[in-house]
Structure 1
Amino acid sequence: MIRFAISLQHPKLKNRGDFSLAPFRRSSNALALWQLLSTLLPMALLWASLPWICGPWGPRSVLLVPVVALLVLFSARSFSLMHDCGHGSLFRSKPLNRLFGFLLGVVNAIPQHPWSRGHAFHHLHNGNWERYRGPSALLTLEQFQQLSPQQQQRYGWSRHPLMLFPGGFSYLVIRPRLQLLLGVGEWLQAMFAHIRQEGWRGLLSLKERTHHFQSSHWYTGREFIDLLANNLCVLASWWWMSHWLGMGLFWSVYALVMTCSAAIFICIFFVQHNFPGSYANATEGWSYFKGAMEGSSNLILPGILNWFSADIAFHSIHHLCERIPNYHLRACHQANQHLLGDCVYLRLHDLPRCFKLILWDSSQQELVALPQA
Structure 2
Amino acid sequence: MLSSCKIGLFADRWFTYVSLSLLRGSADLAQQHLFIDPMSGTQTIDRSPMRTEKELLIATKQYSSENRLLSWWHLLSTIAAFIGLFTLTWMKTPLWLRIPAGVCSGLTFVRLFCIYHDFAHHSILHGSKLAKVIMYTYGFLGLSPPSIWIRSHNHHHNNNSKLHGIGFGSYPLMTTDEWAVATKRERFTYAATRHPLTIACGYITIFLFGMCIRSFFISPKRHWDCGVTAVLHVGILAWVATYGLDVLVFSLLLPIAVASCMGAYLFYAQHNFPGVQYGDREDWTYVKAALKSSSYIKMNPLMRWFTANIGYHHIHHLNHRIPFYRLPEAMAGLPELQSPVTTTLSPKSILACFRSKLWCVEEQRYVSFDYLPPTPIKQLPQTVGIVNL
Above 0.5 in TM-score? Answer: yes
What are the superposed Cα offsets for residues 156-184 of structure 1, whole Å, 9 maximum, x if unpaired? 455232321223333223345523662xx
8 Å Cα contact 1:82-1:112 kept in structure 2: no
Distance in 1 (alpha carbons) for counterparts of 2:228 and 2:188:
39
Q: Check if 1:32 corresponds to 2:32.
A: no
Partner of 1:137 in structure 2? 172
8 Å Cα contact 1:166-1:259 kept in structure 2: yes
Q: Flag the structure with more relative contact order, 1 or 2, with Cα contacts below 8 A and sequence separation at least 6.
A: 1
Q: Which amino acid aligns with 1:14?
A: T
Partner of 2:367 in structure 1? 368
| TM-score normalised by the chain length of structure 1 | 0.76
Shift of 1:371: 3.5
Partner of 1:14 in structure 2? 52
Partner of 2:21 in structure 1? none
Indicate the SS of the match to 1:284: helix
Q: Which of 252, 265, 280 pairs up with 1:282? A: 280
Paired residue total: 321
What are the superposed Cα offsets for residues 325-372 of structure 1, whole Å, 9 maximum, x if unpaired? 111111111111x11233212233323212111222345554333242
Q: Check if 1:105 corresponds to 2:104.
A: no
Distance in 2 (alpha carbons) for counterparts of 1:179 and 1:153:
18
Rg bigger for which structure? 2
Partner of 1:269 in structure 2? 267
Partner of 2:122 in structure 1? 88
Distance in 2 (alpha carbons) for counterparts of 1:157 and 1:356:
13
8 Å Cα contact 1:88-1:97 kept in structure 2: no
Alpha carbons of structure 1 residues 358 and 13: separation in structure 2 relative to 1, 3 Å: farther
Partner of 2:11 in structure 1? none
Shift of 1:253: 4.5
Partner of 2:206 in structure 1? 171
Shift of 1:136: 2.5
8 Å Cα contact 1:89-1:97 kept in structure 2: no
Distance in 2 (alpha carbons) for counterparts of 1:180 and 1:136:
16
Distance in 2 (alpha carbons) for counterparts of 1:24 and 1:293:
17
Distance in 2 (alpha carbons) for counterparts of 1:100 and 1:287:
35
8 Å Cα contact 2:90-2:250 kept in structure 1: no
Alpha carbons of structure 1 residues 225 and 148: separation in structure 2 relative to 1, 3 Å: closer
| TM-score normalised by the chain length of structure 2 | 0.73
Indicate the SS of the match to 2:367: strand
Distance in 2 (alpha carbons) for counterparts of 1:343 and 1:363:
23
What are the superposed Cα offsets for residues 214-271 of structure 1, whole Å, 9 maximum, x if unpaired? xx336xx5x435435545654554454344x335631564223222211112211111
Partner of 1:198 in structure 2? none
8 Å Cα contact 1:275-1:353 kept in structure 2: yes
Q: Check if 1:49 corresponds to 2:46.
A: no
Q: How does 1:263-342 map to 2 (within 5 A)?
A: 263-336=261-334, 338-342=335-339
Segment drifting more, 360-369 vs 254-263: 360-369
Distance in 2 (alpha carbons) for counterparts of 1:227 and 1:150:
27
Q: What stretches of structure 1 of length at least 5 have no aligned partner?
A: 1-9, 55-59, 183-215
Q: What stretches of structure 2 of length at least 5 have no aligned partner?
A: 1-47, 373-389
Partner of 1:347 in structure 2? 344
Partner of 2:195 in structure 1? 160
Partner of 2:356 in structure 1? 357
| % identical aligned pairs | 24
Indicate the SS of the match to 1:53: coil
Q: Answer 1 or 2: which has greater helix percent.
A: 1
8 Å Cα contact 1:27-1:325 kept in structure 2: yes
Alpha carbons of structure 1 residues 94 and 282: separation in structure 2 relative to 1, 3 Å: farther
Q: Which amino acid aligns with 2:152?
A: G
Q: Which of 77, 91, 105 pairs up with 1:71? A: 105
Distance in 1 (alpha carbons) for counterparts of 2:60 and 2:234:
41
Alpha carbons of structure 1 residues 89 and 236: separation in structure 2 relative to 1, 3 Å: farther
8 Å Cα contact 1:102-1:230 kept in structure 2: no
Q: Which amino acid aligns with 2:345?
A: L
8 Å Cα contact 2:156-2:170 kept in structure 1: no
Indicate the SS of the match to 1:343: coil
